[in-house]
Structure 1
């Protein structure tokens, strides 16, 4: 058991006790309806089954995974003082969360690479990864590989997560779902926080940024050749640029949603005085990061609705 050093405030006196469940209820409803409709549209309409949409389908499935397996259970973390669901749900929810994050960020990276080659090398794109059966097999294999990789990276969360007791005072203790087992060493939590920041956030976003910088550079340089291009090729390039902007919207949403959580976790585990400096600001940032990390699972369909006329038409129907 671990002692809690800061002043304890009963849950019924905290505003987040009442606000967080409402936010999670909205996340659940919007996420299930939005991602469920997105999956249904892709399954029902053959015109939607292309390379980028296959990856977007994978994103929607990852979002549905975390919404169904995590949101109903973790929504009460700031509402009740002890984790009520037991160790099995704790393990499944922690692992599912890591799987969903991994699938999301790795799929966004693959989408960015796909858009880069579609715009920079369209002839190779049409031959290797366009609308052919070879392209479909390659895309499906990549998507499945991403899920397998994400599941492997989430294995420590499933194996190590457990219900841990925290002592408030000699007469009060509460239980939390904790993903860092004490027997794995004192440095394990700090190591995992850093690995997650690098693998699930900063490194993939750096790769994505590189693809988009190179893409932008190519588009700027290619404007000199536009007058000599065929009209059909220009239309095709405009369509591909529009898809690239859609992917960029997904990336920006992901980066914004997970930034507060990573900032808090890196500060809390790497600042020597975090326990003493923990105040209202850091407590608020922790709650904001907690909520926005799950909010990411319901905003992708909204972003797609705003940027894709075809999806918007099918969704309205």
Structure 2
């Protein structure tokens, strides 16, 4: 999905292109950053997938989505990151057209899986909080697996056009360049300027703006429901009693669920917003070629690196926010840590565990709080 990076590299945008590669700071900084991304992403995402697959008690609805999210990130980091790290390091694209197409495809597929899964997670949390009875109708696990499978199919289909169109372009970076260079390029030259603009705007809508609007809507409705339920929760007004304490714990658990998913979304926005902003400016500002300077170059590289950093942050967020995931990470990665007793006697409903939802039943004067198998913090 690094179409604008290729476009900027393949056009005479400024005198920056005249600076020799060995004198550019990104020649040395980007490979170090991508090496960190590779190690943290492979270990973090790989361990997360292993935790859920190995431990039956961790296989629940939210964790299915999270494994799907991690699998997309894992494939991107494993296959694409080693090749993409060279874009700012070497003058020529050295890997040929097949790797060029594969690289573009994997980037599109991964971001599609990420943003669509985050949207599905937000919808799942909305249902669990606002209408928990509906969430447990039918077979939730099967429905989640089918939804995840559909997300992968859609993400793959959206990545195919770039894979088909991308090619290795031989071009000069500026008029005085007699030798020219090879770049992995996603825009056919005979499609002129209309396709790059359409391509950039389409990806901004599909991979960023529309999903964020949908997720924001879900979270606004969740926040409204949580505020109302806090005011109307039975037993809340009582100063003492186990019913009021249980209701307060259930409310706190539901808030933790929403906070964790929201953290995934916030990380995605922070990591992807700079790249989308640069792409939109580069292709739609009539003065972008004239205004392109060292500041925009730095912003472009930062956005480029941050979009890949997002692929290794979700396991870190889970480690910080989820007690059960943290215990399993400590168990499998930090063998010198004392093994937690909780891991030896896990309950059937403790999956990412304390992600609980409440279901109201009975008459107007009586409610039954039902703990569902969701996830844990």
- 1:163 aligned to 2:173? no
- 1:259 aligned to 2:269? no
Give SS of 2:90's match: coil
| Structure 2 gap segments, 5+ residues each | 1-6, 237-242, 332-377
Aligned mates of 1:166, 1:220 — CA distance in 2:
59
Aligned with residue 183 of structure 2, among 176, 179, 184: 176
Aligned mates of 2:129, 2:100 — CA distance in 1:
44
Aligned mates of 1:170, 1:102 — CA distance in 2:
37
Aligned with residue 38 of structure 2, among 28, 43, 49: 28
- Alpha-carbon distance, 1:185 to partner: 4.6
State the match for 1:6 in structure 2: 14
Q: Deviations over 1:87-116 (max 9, x none)?
A: 000000100000000000000000000001
Aligned-residue Cα RMSD (Å) equals: 1.6
Q: 2:230·2:251 contact (CA, 8 Å) conserved in 1?
A: no
- 1:149 aligned to 2:157? no
- Higher fraction of helix: 1
Q: Deviations over 1:11-40 (max 9, x none)?
A: 111000000000000000000000000000
- 1:316 aligned to 2:330? yes
- CA gap 1:123/1:85 in 2 versus in 1, 3 angstroms: same
- Alpha-carbon distance, 1:180 to partner: 1.7
Give SS of 1:103's match: helix
Give SS of 1:228's match: coil
State the match for 2:129 in structure 1: 119
Q: 1:119·1:237 contact (CA, 8 Å) conserved in 2?
A: no
| Structure 1 gap segments, 5+ residues each | 129-133
Aligned mates of 2:311, 2:12 — CA distance in 1:
32
State the match for 2:253 in structure 1: 239
- Alpha-carbon distance, 1:192 to partner: 0.7
Taking structure 1 as the reference length, the TM-score comes to 0.95
State the match for 2:28 in structure 1: 18
Which has the greater radius of gyration? Answer: 2
- Alpha-carbon distance, 1:243 to partner: 1.8
Aligned mates of 1:295, 1:4 — CA distance in 2:
29
Q: 2:169·2:184 contact (CA, 8 Å) conserved in 1?
A: yes
Matches within 5 A, 1:14-93: 14-93=24-103
- 1:282 aligned to 2:287? no
- CA gap 1:260/1:150 in 2 versus in 1, 3 angstroms: same
Q: 1:4·1:166 contact (CA, 8 Å) conserved in 2?
A: no
Q: Which moved more, 1:220-229 or 1:266-275?
A: 220-229
Aligned mates of 1:217, 1:310 — CA distance in 2:
29
State the match for 1:294 in structure 2: 308
- Alpha-carbon distance, 1:233 to partner: 5.5
- Alpha-carbon distance, 1:232 to partner: 4.9
- 1:212 aligned to 2:222? no
Aligned mates of 1:176, 1:149 — CA distance in 2:
28
- Alpha-carbon distance, 1:236 to partner: 3.9
Aligned mates of 1:254, 1:313 — CA distance in 2:
25
- CA gap 1:311/1:3 in 2 versus in 1, 3 angstroms: closer
Q: Give the length in aligned residue pairs.
A: 312
